[in-house]
Chain A
Amino acid sequence: MELQAVLMAAGGGSRMPDLTYNTPKPMLPVGNKPLMWYPLNLLERVGFEEVIVITTKEVHKMMSTDPKMKDVKMKLDVVCIQEDGDMGTADALRHIQQKIKTDVLVVSCDLITDVALHEVVDLFRAHNATLAMLMSKAHEFTDTVPGQKGKKKTAEQRDFVGVDQSGKRLLFMANEADLEDGLSIRKSIMRKHPRMHIKTGLEDAHLYCLKKAVVDFLADNKSISSIRGELVPYLVRKQFSKTTNSPKIKDDAEDQNQKTIDELLISSRDEPLLQLAQERSCWNDHRGDMSEAYHGGKLRCYVHIIDQGLCYRVNTLAAYIEANRLAPKLFEEPAVHPSAVISERCQMGSDSIIGALCQVADKTSIKRSTIGNSTTVKEKVKVTNSIIMHGVTIEEGCNIQGCVICSNAVIGRGADLKYCLVGSGQQIEPEDERPCLPCLKRGYNPQKH
């Protein structure tokens, strides 16, 4: 077997607490499908037959009841971990180390993309790389986010990514938070790769191909807890460190018994034959200096950067809304679910989606919106640019614009909501006017203005 897929679905969704208050992030509906369905669908389309899903018990329960998840034909090996256990992604990998028998493809549950996965995996295969990852050009979200007064640009920490001339080899990776004094690049890197392109507008898609040796290395080194935050920068740095020359000098954190990643990589069988083939081959990945291909380094990290096509990580509210709008375009499914009951006098735009078992009454207008399963929309309701999750009831005469309404909410008659975020199970009083109100938490009843 070549690659084993691992889906990380235990994340909390810490950047959108309002949405994930009741529904865990992997099960948030996007285009009426749970969020984790998208990476699973990607893996299924590419040809995987088994996926190891690391998630919490709550999500596991919801998965078994969700109808969309039953569409997934792959065998899902669900490993449950404690939600509050502060487990990073690398810790989770260490947890399932026994199940990992070959190289690993780690995917995050909040990735929605239509990338040709073979581009990433080909880099991993052809160059015998230790790490191959996917990055995309960061998106600017232009729509107004409900619950935020005006456009507030959060100071997102930028990532500094250094690639070589071909744009494939990863030379440098650091987050702005770690670079207080400025960006320093080691001379050894500059000597080997005199031309480096440093990009800041890239977003990590959290899709990694890792060699099995890395998982074994993680098992020994318990200090690494996050793949993105610690493991990837460590591997990128290790590409250029001189461990083979000085075996006595070891890194601070490692014990005497632990094997370095280099040793684990070299200990593959038939290494001399591979060396011979590389020696006899008249190919070099760089030119201009006297060193052999890959500068003789065994550890190589590659990145595939996509600039066209869909690639979203749904970890903020803005991303969630954007994804809801664009995700349905990935698949050619009928916009209206066959079991939904829609009256004839309803005006429905072509880019709206209606979920199963919905009931939409007369004289309603639904434009650029997503309506979840089992939602009831009464007469004379105008829904524009909104996301309505499952089980919501919208009474007559409402005007909903640019809102996100979580599951099982009830919007009273004649309410006028603009750019609001309604928590799950909330009840909006009739005749309510709410221009751009921040999110309503459970148990808080709004007073009439």
Chain B
Amino acid sequence: MADSGVTDGLCDTDDIERSKTEGKELTKEEKQRLRKEKKHQKKIKEKKDDAASHEDEKKKKKKKEEKPVGAASQPPTQPSQKAPAPAPVPVPASETPALADKPAKSKADLKAERRARQESERASKQGKKGDVGQPVPTSKPKAPPSELQPVVKRLPEHVQVDNPDVLKKLAKKLERQQIPLRSDYGYKVSLFSHLHQYSRKAPLTQQLGIPSTVIHPAIVRLGLQYSQGIVAGSNARSVALLHAFKQVIRDYTTPPNEELSRDLVNKLKPYISFLNQCRPLSASMGNAIKYIKKEISNIPSQCKEEEAKSKLLSCIECYINEKIILAAKAIAKYSIEKISDGDVILVYGCSSLVNHILCEAFEKKRKFRVIVVDSRPRLEGREALRRLVQRGISCTYVLISAVSYILPEVSKVFLGAHALLANGYVMSRVGTSQIALVAKAFNVPVLVCCETYKFCERVQTDSFVSNELDDPDELIVTRKGKTQLEHWQEVPSLGLLNLVYDVTPPDFVDLVITDLGMIPCTSVPVVLRVKNVDQ
């Protein structure tokens, strides 16, 4: 059907093409005609689709009428369909003779078609709002977004900081929960202006009363430790979070006329908001919170308070034991198979899991040496270096700028992960993807070690969409008494960016070692699916 349109247009375009091949410039009129032809072809295509879908619709309607099932959906659809039905019906009727003929349409015809199309769209939109179950092909290919809303997920609010409506909603929510709002600090680089950026020198406790009554003191302490970086690292943060939750549960008493299973979850919500304000939650923390909330809501209502509390406490202990301690042991066991004598292993930053693996391998009398790669501003590699050297492992320490010089010596790269995303990407400390890239270029195997509780349902292909911005003042360094960047805020064209995470594509990762075994990066969605089925 579309061919007719094309053939119709071709005779006109032939001239133009001929003139092109002859090397003459297209005259203005010829250009205009070309544009018109293109537009016309587009319109014809769309109308044909519309007509086809309407005809299909009509057939479907007839079938529906024959089988009166789901009568409720019929009455709203029928009147909405009847309104556009007469409109498009004459249109395709008028169209088909037009299509069979030459495409030379008058302006009035085009206008009528456009108006009819708009009316049909409007009617179908209203029909859609009343009844979501309408078949999607009713809409045009360029459907308005309101019709697709039930399918599209909403963006989380922590990546929409530059949207004032979202900020207002967040402020309202925090006010309701009686938690102070932490304000952003400093100039944000435009690519990352949709993320929060806080200052370490302005802790959230400034705005809280000192004997904190709204928020449990263990949670205030935890939030402070997060924001000052005293508890850093995915595992440490989760363990500290669960420890604080244990104290909260211990001090909790069910108010009268309330059920523990519902009330405790509501009590935890403001604490989680508070911790989020102190430092954005990590994927592992998110999974731990989901687990606890599920356990709390699964408590039967007949259960006495003391019993319920002790059950919850033992659940938390169990979770930590299984998912963190035993998982570390299992991962160490698998990894030791991969470490052979004479290996030179490269590690980046300070990953608690990788350090554990290396220490265990050293205990099992494997002979290897380690190269610790470090980067500013956190310089976490120094801590990793200390822990390894304390055990007796021989180490080399370089900064990330020397990675390509040191890689020829390296036989394996072990990386830790902050989270593993559902499309196989590895989210880890900023700099990890760089190391993986260089390792790939040198054909050095890259092994990522990650527990399954850090697997996350999110999908990300770049490091911009969802990340964390640390305090930009951390980048300022004083050398020989001079602080060059001291007044960086006064320079209008200067912005400091202190990113925390980045994502590594699965092409650069050769193996992921988890407590379930050694899997390729692409098997992460399978693990997630299995986990969901289990739960």
**A residues at B contact (CB < 8 Å):** 1-5, 46-49, 105, 116-118, 121-122, 125-128, 270, 273-274, 276-284, 287, 290
Q: Taking A281-B230, A281-B236 as contacts, is the C-beta distance between A274 and B243 under 8 angstroms?
A: yes
Q: Taking A121-B210, A273-B320, A290-B386 as contacts, is the C-beta distance between A126 and B230 under 8 angstroms?
A: yes
Decide: B230 and A127 in contact? CB cutoff 8 A.
Answer: yes
Give min CB distance, B309 to chain A, whole Å.
13
What would 13 more interface pairs be, CB under 8 Å, given A47-B209, A276-B239, A281-B232?
A105-B210, A116-B206, A125-B205, A273-B246, A273-B320, A274-B240, A279-B352, A281-B230, A281-B236, A282-B349, A282-B383, A283-B229, A283-B231
Question: What are 13 contact pairs spanning A and B, CB under 8 A?
Answer: A47-B210, A48-B210, A117-B210, A118-B210, A121-B205, A125-B221, A277-B231, A279-B352, A280-B236, A281-B240, A282-B232, A283-B232, A290-B386
Residues of B within 8 A of A1 (CB): 211, 213, 217
Decide: A282 and B384 in contact? CB cutoff 8 A.
Answer: yes
Q: Taking A3-B210, A46-B209, A277-B243 as contacts, is the C-beta distance between A290 and B232 under 8 angstroms?
A: no
Decide: B243 and A280 in contact? CB cutoff 8 A.
Answer: no
Residues of A within 8 A of B210 (CB): 2-3, 46-48, 105, 117-118, 121
Q: Which of A48, A128, A273, A282 contacts B221 (CB 8 A)?
A: A128
| Residue with the highest number of chain B CB atoms closer than 10 Å, among A4, A276, A280 | A280
B window 336-377: CB within 8 A of A: 349-350, 352
Q: Taking A125-B220, A277-B240 as contacts, is the C-beta distance between A283 and B206 under 8 angstroms?
A: no
Cα distance A5–B209 in the bound complex, in angstroms: 13
Q: Taking A122-B224, A125-B221, A281-B233 as contacts, is the C-beta distance between A273 and B243 under 8 angstroms?
A: yes
B61, CB-defined interface residue at 8 Å: no
Closest to A271 in B: B243
Closest to B203 in A: A122
Give min CB distance, B352 to chain A, whole Å.
4
B460, CB-defined interface residue at 8 Å: no
Decide: A277 and B206 in contact? CB cutoff 8 A.
Answer: no
Closest to A105 in B: B210
Residues of B within 8 A of A282 (CB): 232-233, 236, 349-350, 352, 380, 383-384
Cα distance A25–B116 in the bound complex, in angstroms: 91
Decide: A283 and B224 in contact? CB cutoff 8 A.
Answer: no
| Residue with the highest number of chain B CB atoms closer than 10 Å, among A105, A282, A287, A290 | A282
Residues of A within 8 A of B389 (CB): 290
The majority secondary structure among interface residues of chain A is mixed
Decide: A277 and B246 in contact? CB cutoff 8 A.
Answer: no
Closest to B221 in A: A125
Residues of B within 8 A of A281 (CB): 230-233, 236-237, 240, 352
Cα distance A125–B213 in the bound complex, in angstroms: 15
How many residue pairs link A and B with beta carbons under 8 A? The number is 106
Give min CB distance, A375 to chain B, whole Å.
37
Q: Which of B217, B236, B239, B242 contacts A2 (CB 8 A)?
A: B217
B228, CB-defined interface residue at 8 Å: yes
B262, CB-defined interface residue at 8 Å: no
Contact string against A for B residues 370-406, beta-carbon threshold 8 Å, 1 for contact and 0 otherwise = 0000000000101110100110000000000000000
Decide: A126 and B233 in contact? CB cutoff 8 A.
Answer: no
Decide: B236 and A126 in contact? CB cutoff 8 A.
Answer: no
Q: Which of A270, A278, A287 contacts B247 (CB 8 A)?
A: A270
Closest to A48 in B: B211
Cα distance A47–B390 in the bound complex, in angstroms: 46
Closest to A1 in B: B211
Closest to A43 in B: B210
B78, CB-defined interface residue at 8 Å: no
Contact string against A for B residues 214-252, beta-carbon threshold 8 Å, 1 for contact and 0 otherwise = 000100110011001111110111011011001100000
Closest to B230 in A: A283
Closest to A127 in B: B230
Give min CB distance, A167 to chain B, whole Å.
14
Give min CB distance, B515 to chain A, whole Å.
16
B134, CB-defined interface residue at 8 Å: no
Residues of A within 8 A of B230 (CB): 126-127, 281, 283
Decide: B236 and A277 in contact? CB cutoff 8 A.
Answer: yes
Cα distance A117–B209 in the bound complex, in angstroms: 10
B310, CB-defined interface residue at 8 Å: no
Residues of A within 8 A of B247 (CB): 270
Closest to B226 in A: A126
B212, CB-defined interface residue at 8 Å: yes
Cα distance A125–B224 in the bound complex, in angstroms: 8
Cα distance A125–B205 in the bound complex, in angstroms: 11
Closest to B352 in A: A280
Residues of A within 8 A of B221 (CB): 125-126, 128
Q: Which of A47, A274, A290 contacts B211 (CB 8 A)?
A: A47
Decide: A280 and B211 in contact? CB cutoff 8 A.
Answer: no
Cα distance A46–B209 in the bound complex, in angstroms: 6
Cα distance A117–B206 in the bound complex, in angstroms: 9
Q: Which of B208, B235, B242, B383 contacts A283 (CB 8 A)?
A: B383
Decide: A118 and B205 in contact? CB cutoff 8 A.
Answer: yes
Closest to B317 in A: A273
Q: Taking A2-B212, A126-B224 as contacts, is the C-beta distance between A284 and B239 under 8 angstroms?
A: no
Give min CB distance, B512 to chain A, whole Å.
20
Cα distance A9–B57 in the bound complex, in angstroms: 87
Cα distance A122–B205 in the bound complex, in angstroms: 8
Cα distance A3–B221 in the bound complex, in angstroms: 13
Contact string against A for B residues 179-205, beta-carbon threshold 8 Å, 1 for contact and 0 otherwise = 000000000000000000000000101
Cα distance A1–B231 in the bound complex, in angstroms: 23
Give min CB distance, B43 to chain A, whole Å.
62
Q: Which of A2, A49, A273 contacts B220 (CB 8 A)?
A: A2
Give min CB distance, A348 to chain B, whole Å.
38
Cα distance A287–B387 in the bound complex, in angstroms: 12
Residues of B within 8 A of A126 (CB): 221, 224-225, 228, 230
Decide: A3 and B211 in contact? CB cutoff 8 A.
Answer: yes
Residues of B within 8 A of A277 (CB): 231, 236, 239-240, 243
Residues of B within 8 A of A116 (CB): 206
Cα distance A105–B243 in the bound complex, in angstroms: 25
Q: Taking A118-B206, A121-B210, A277-B243 as contacts, is the C-beta distance between A284 and B390 under 8 angstroms?
A: no
Contact string against A for B residues 6-26, beta-carbon threshold 8 Å, 1 for contact and 0 otherwise = 000000000000000000000
Give min CB distance, B8 to chain A, whole Å.
70
Closest to B350 in A: A282
